[in-house]
């Protein structure tokens, strides 16, 4: 991931943040991220349930799942190909709407003081 990001975003400012999933909040992972990203937000500083404010989680993931899991897969490669195909089929307007919803979701999260909120 780090090499890909460096190649594609070489001369840009970026901030890296993960949610607080156990795999992301493990001490070794948090230390690695802090050591390798100049601007990294620790998991404990982020929202407790980021699926409410991450466009991939609140919008796109359900579309990918419904398309990719429409048929059963006998291998990881088959599933990966189905996910890639599903991604290519998502209309840009859907992606745009998901991103445009982000500011209001973030404001709602702040109003709820990082607690439960509904949009």
58-69: per-residue pLDDT in tens? 788 889 999 998
Q: 40 by DSSP, 3-state: which? A: strand
- Give the other-Cβ count within 10 Å of 52's Cβ: 19
Mean confidence (pLDDT) of the chain: 82
Is residue 2 predicted with pLDDT exceeding 80? no
3-29: per-residue pLDDT in tens? 777 777 777 777 777 777 788 888 998
Secondary structure element (H or E) that encloses residue 83, with its range: helix 76-89
Is residue 50 predicted with pLDDT exceeding 70? no
Model-level pTM? 0.55
What is the rounded (10 degree) CA torsion for 52, 57, 59, 64?
-160
């Amino acid at each position: 991931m780090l090499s890909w990001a460096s190649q594609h975003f070489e001369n840009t400012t970026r901030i890296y943040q993960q949610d607080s999933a156990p795999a992301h909040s493990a001490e070794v992972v948090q230390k690695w991220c802090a050591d390798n990203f100049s601007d990294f937000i620790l998991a404990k500083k982020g929202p407790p349930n980021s699926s409410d404010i991450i466009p991939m989680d609140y919008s796109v993931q359900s579309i990918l799942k419904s398309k990719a899991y429409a048929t059963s897969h006998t291998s990881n490669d088959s599933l990966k190909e189905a996910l890639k195909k599903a991604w290519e089929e998502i209309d840009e307007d859907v992606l745009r709407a998901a991103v445009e919803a982000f500011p209001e979701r973030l404001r709602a999260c702040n109003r709820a003081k990082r607690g439960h909120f509904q949009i």
